[in-house]
Structure 1
Amino acid sequence: MPGMLLTVLGLAATAYLALMLALWWGQERLLFEPEPLPADHVFQFGPDVQDVVIDRPDGTRLHALHLRLPAPRGIVFYLHGNAGNLQSWFSHADFYRQAGYDLFMLDYRGFGKSGGRIASEAELRADARAAWQQIEPLYAPGQLRVIAGRSLGSGLAAGLAAELQPDLTVLISPYRSMRALAAQHYPWVPAALLRYPLDTEALAARIHGPSLLLHGDQDTLIPAAHSEALKARLPQARYVRVEGAGHSDVQEFPAYLQAVREALSALVRRPQPARVSPLGTL
């Protein structure tokens, strides 16, 4: 009997180790759910929405969409969630047209018409930074800069905002960190195995300007407690808990749209300081 018990324990340990190794090497398949599009796919969001290509040093070509208004108040640079592509994410162009802001949205590697595949958090952040550096020179110093991110993109947005100190940072359904989120859903997975820590909580403490946190109170994927914890790191932030909203539908609720509209309108009324890019000459 003791020998059989040791054998069972050994098999269980081997299976657990194999599972941990699979998680280490295959976590991109768990974190990201890209939907590719053919290179000749044509988006039908209006003649004022332009296709943009960002060429990366490794030869990868990233694709983005850019709503360009004749005289925008500024630019909303939006980093979307972990699934789909711009066909589904670029869904509120009319809202930003009415608000008077351009909208820029990037598809990550392997998403939509973007090439390559995601290999690291550092690469994800570098891609987002490169996209910003490409479009930022299109805007004069007096035009407003807004960095927004939803779900997965909220951690990337927080990192970019900590570098840039934009006029407004908007984090939608954000997480404290991917490690904190994994601990809730998969407590049996050691934190050291996660190659995408995406520590929004640490980055939030370095964002000094106006911020808006939006979270559905029925969100079970990323509970609203994550936004509440981030609010403690962002004392200047406004936190809007959207009643009745879950994770995938929060953008459809009037309270969400009203909060974003108010935050964008408040920027227009606020005196703007002279701008010096933290990233240097772009």
Structure 2
Amino acid sequence: MCIGMRTDMHQVKTRKTKRVGCRMTILSVAIRVLVFLIVAGAALLYYFQSKLLFYPAKLEKNFAFSFSLPHEEKFISYNKETLHGLLFKANKPKARMMYFHGNRGALDKWGQVGADLSEKLNCDIFILDHPGFGKSTGSLPTSEKELYESADAAFAEFIASTDKTLPIILYGRSLGSALASYLASKNKVQALILETPYLSIKAMAKVLFPFVPSFFVHYDLDNAKNIQGLNIPILILHGTGDTVVPYIQGKELAALNSNAEFITIDDGNHNTLANYPLYWNAVENFVAKISL
């Protein structure tokens, strides 16, 4: 009787041990699979960041633009490639503005933004396509350095092509905000406007890919770093309905510099700020103060 009970208890313990071992094996496999997926995802993020960051539209060299205002096409040589931009010249301009657009499309669409700004603000506007976008040649930038080099080359052309007596305003929209803030940190300019900006690409990566270590992100594009030492007027505009770049990032960015004016556009999303009268009132008043 006792021997039988011991045998039964031993068998029960054996079955329990096997079940625990089985669970541990499944857990171990699950952890390994999870780690593999995270590492594989991080590796894909690292090697294909330019594909995730840039969504260009290409334009043929003979593409004919049609906008509400006359314009000049500018072709800028740099690093054996060519950048393409459009220059809208105002009648008796108050200022000259260089505009960096977002991460999608090309100047067939973005060019009208330049025309609208030139007409409404009475400013000369130079708007640029990033490398690999529109008529700009070359492949998509694979590093922050390449992007900044293209911005430097375009800025030199902008200075040479516009009235040197006019104040310089840099304008960056979304992805382009870091290029504008970078140039503002390196050159003597009179003002900076940032629309729907982010703190940095690494800060954005934490929002989009929270489990990926920051060292996998090889673009900084650090607006926060760029604006901290600026001693010029800064206007930052962001909408509370932005589902691409969190509104809080624009607000936190403005808090880093006492010269920054932050405009909240209620319900404005990432692509609709210019549809709100508050946007135009803020930009027009800001430019008017710079051009006094």
Give the alignment's TM-score, normalised by structure 2.
0.87
Amino acid at match of 1:90: G
Contact 1:165 / 1:209 at 8 angstroms: preserved in 2? no
Find the partner of 1:99 among 117, 121, 138: 121
Q: Whose helix fraction is larger, Structure 1's or Structure 2's? A: 2
Contact 1:52 1:63 in 2 (8 A): yes
Paired residue for 2:49? 27
1:94-173 map, 5 Å: 94-117=116-139, 118-173=141-196
Which 4+ residue blocks in structure 1 deviate beyond 4 angstroms? 2-5
Q: 1:235 to 1:16 in 2, by over 3 A?
A: same
Larger Rg: 2
Question: In structure 1, what residue type is equivalent to 2:273?
Answer: V
- Give a deviation string over 1:213-237, Cα, whole Å, max 9, x none: 1111111221221122112212112
Q: Which residue of 2 is the match for residue 63 of structure 1? A: 84
Overall identity of the aligned pairs, in %: 30
2:221 corresponds in structure 1 to 198
In 1, the alpha carbon distance for the partners of 2:28 and 2:240 equals 47
Question: Does the 8 Å contact 2:97/2:169 carry over to 1?
Answer: yes
Distance in 1 (CA, whole Å) between partners of 2:62 and 2:183 is 31
> 1:145 touches 1:168 (CA, 8 Å); kept in 2?
yes
What SS does the corresponding residue of 2:238 show, helix, strand or coil? strand
Whole-Å separation in 2 of the counterparts to 1:98 and 1:105: 16
1:14 aligned counterpart, secondary structure: helix
Is residue 183 from structure 1 mapped to residue 183 from structure 2 by the alignment? Answer: no
2:248 maps to 1:225: yes
Residue 54 of structure 2 corresponds to residue 54 of structure 1? no
Q: Distance in 1 between matches of 2:78 and 2:102?
A: 21
Change over 3 Å in CA distance of 1:13–1:237 after alignment to 2: closer
Q: Which residue of 1 aligns with 2:103?
A: 82
TM-superposed deviation, 1:95: 3.8
Task: Determine the C-alpha separation between the residues in 2 that align with 1:3 and 1:266.
Answer: 69
Query: Does the C-alpha gap of structure 1 residues 6 and 95 become closer, same or farther in structure 2, counting only changes over 3 Å?
Result: closer
Once the two structures are TM-superposed, the CA of residue 52 in structure 1 deviates from its matched residue by 0.6
* Secondary structure at the counterpart of residue 197 of structure 2: coil
| 1:73 alignment counterpart | 94
Q: Does 1:263 align with 2:286?
A: yes
Cα root mean square deviation, aligned:
1.7
Select the residue among 35, 43, 67 that pairs with 1:13: 35
How many residue pairs were aligned?
Answer: 268
Structure 2 gap segments, 5+ residues each: 1-21
Q: Which amino acid aligns with 1:73?
A: K
Judge conservation of contact 1:165–1:208 (CA < 8 Å) in 2.
no
Residue range with higher mean Cα deviation, 41-50 or 218-227: 41-50
Distance in 2 of aligned mates of 1:248 and 1:146: 21
Cα distance change, pair 238–40 in 1 and its aligned pair in 2 (3 A): same
| Compared CA separation, residues 201 and 7, structure 1 to 2 (3 A) | same
Separation in 1, partners of 2:162, 2:195: 24
Deviation, structure 1 residue 133: 0.5
Instruction: Give the letter aligned to residue 270 of structure 2.
Output: H
Q: Give unpaired runs (5+ residues) of structure 1.
A: 270-282
Does the 8 Å contact 1:165/1:207 carry over to 2?
A: no
CA deviation digits over 1:215-262, x for unaligned, max 9?
111112212211221122121121111122101111221111111111
